[in-house]
Amino acid sequence: MSGTSNTLLIKHAAEIVTNTGETAKQGADMNRLLRIADGALLIKDGRIEWIGETAALPAVDHRDLEILDAAGCSVIPGFVDSHTHFVFGGYRPEEFFWRLAGTPYLEILERGGGILNTVQQTRAAEYAELVQNAAKRLDAMLSMGVTTVEGKSGYGLDLATELRQLHVMGTLDQEHAMDVVPTFMGAHAVPPEFSGRTDDYVDYMIKTVLPAVANQKIAEFCDVFCEKGIFSLQQTRKILQAAQALGLRPKLHADEIVGFGGAELAAELGAVSADHLLQASDRGISAMAAHSVVATVLPLTAFCLREEYARARIMIDSGAAVALATDYNPGSCFSHSIPMLIALATIQMKLSPAEILTALTLNGAAAVRRADRTGTLECGKQADIVILKYPSHLFLSYHAGMDIVRTVIKKGRVVVD
């Protein structure tokens, strides 16, 4: 780790490639990137002060200036992983193989495994242990170019553990280079003590847990696993409206395994994003586009569960804003591999390199309401930057499944070199 100087100059980049603006790019606009050949970036006090061609650089004060030569390298914004469950106790390797042998994901959950297995292990984990393990996971994500990450609670399903998970995220946001965006997801599953009493659990969430989360100001979003046999449309609506009334913004795990109107509900509620969407209907997709709900697709999960991929191509062609995220968690998707995510988006979802870059930067930032400060390389924004080992961002897809990150800069500081 280096980066003690408060002024950093990146120059002679083969290209700087970025979106512009503070709102998600929708539809065809996802292909509109700004590209500067032989580019330079001047960073001061953690923010981008100047961006343009190296030849046009203004005179800079060379005292206290760190210079980074990016010849032969493409420079892009740091990635935003807008959907993860990275704070958890224990692991579930055996379930991975049960699923491969044919046991459905939801059946393992019905038997008390799946999410409930991790709930048991998370409830038993010490605070310090959760922080330590989650910090190592953030290190690994940062090394792949992720500079902002969203994390969800939902492995507590009781007041104390839900709050603990969110506090872990708050601690890491302070102590780790990564920006951590906390989401409350008490409605991730129904815990054993409420088994068969989902409505009572929903009431407990609304009357006891949500108000405590809102009071402590430890979450910005509220997410619900809206799925057949988990939380119905009505239960999801009830929780998310209660959350909205307390100032938390809604997100949904929608239409993942059985399509039953999750995307439409996201549009109705004005959700910030709806995620998964493998079974989203045409009507749901159009409704999301019309209401500017970011459609977050998670191809690593589809890959690990051997499901069909979400129809990201159709979503973009219908004018929706698509984000790509990992869904990193110990069950359905124990991977936060950005290179593999890009490979799947390119080859299986048929997205263009520009669409993929947009989905992983500006649209990811919009999915966590951070597009005013990150997700693009523009004057005034945080200097959250990735330098690639190759001269073009096309290599992200072309060098299939390979990590081509050379340097990561977070708020103007070199954090991976």
* Binding at 225: pick from Fe ion, ligand NIG, none (beta carbon under 5-8 Å per type): ligand NIG
Residue 99 binding partner per list ligand NIG, Fe ion, none, with a CB distance cut-off of 5 to 8 Å that depends on partner kind: none
Instruction: Determine if residue 85 is labeled as part of a ligand binding site.
Output: yes
The HSE-up count of residue 93 (CA atoms within 13 Å, CB side) is 0
User: Is residue 332 a known part of a binding site?
Assistant: yes
Q: Is 390 annotated as a binding residue?
A: no
Using the minimum distance from each CB to ligand NIG, give the nearer residue, 156 or 331. Answer: 331
> In terms of CB distance, is 186 or 412 closer to Fe ion?
186
Asked if residue 92 belongs to a known ligand binding site, the reply is yes
Best CA proximity match to 315, nearest among 285, 339, 292: 285
User: Which residue has its beta carbon closest to Fe ion?
Assistant: 327
- Considering beta carbons, is residue 327 or 384 the nearer one to Fe ion? 327
- Chain residues binding ligand NIG by CB under 6 A are 85, 114-115, 118, 225, 253, 256, 301, 327, 329-333
**Separation of alpha carbons 33 and 323, rounded Å:** 16
To the question of whether residue 398 is assigned a binding role by annotation, the answer is no
* β partners of residue 322: 295
For residue 330 the two structure tokens come to: 């110990």
DSSP codes of every residue in 269-316: HT-SEEEE-TT--HHHHHHHHHTT-EEEE-HHHHHHTTPPPP-HHHHH
223 binds, among Fe ion, ligand NIG, none (CB under 5 to 8 A by kind): none
Q: Which does 145 bind (CB under 5 to 8 A by kind): Fe ion, ligand NIG, none?
A: none
Summarize as ranges the residues that interact with Fe ion (CB under 5 A): 327
Q: Is residue 28 packed enough to be buried (19+ CB in 10 Å), middle (13-18) or exposed (0-12)?
A: exposed
DSSP string, 331-365: SS-----HHHHHHHHHHTS---HHHHHHHHTHHHH
Assigned token pair, 76: 């892009």
User: What distances in angstroms separate CA 88 from CA 156, 228, 319, one per listed residue?
Assistant: 9, 24, 36
* Nearer residue to ligand NIG within complex by CB, 264 or 327: 327
Minimal distance in Å, beta carbon 333 to Fe ion?
A: 8
Among Fe ion, ligand NIG, none, partner that 147 touches (CB below 5 to 8 angstroms by kind): none
Q: What's the min distance (Å) between Cβ of 392 and Fe ion?
A: 32
- Annotated binding residue at 370? no
Binding residues for Fe(3+): 83, 85, 253, 327
Binding residues for 4-imidazolone-5-propanoate: 92, 155, 188, 256, 332
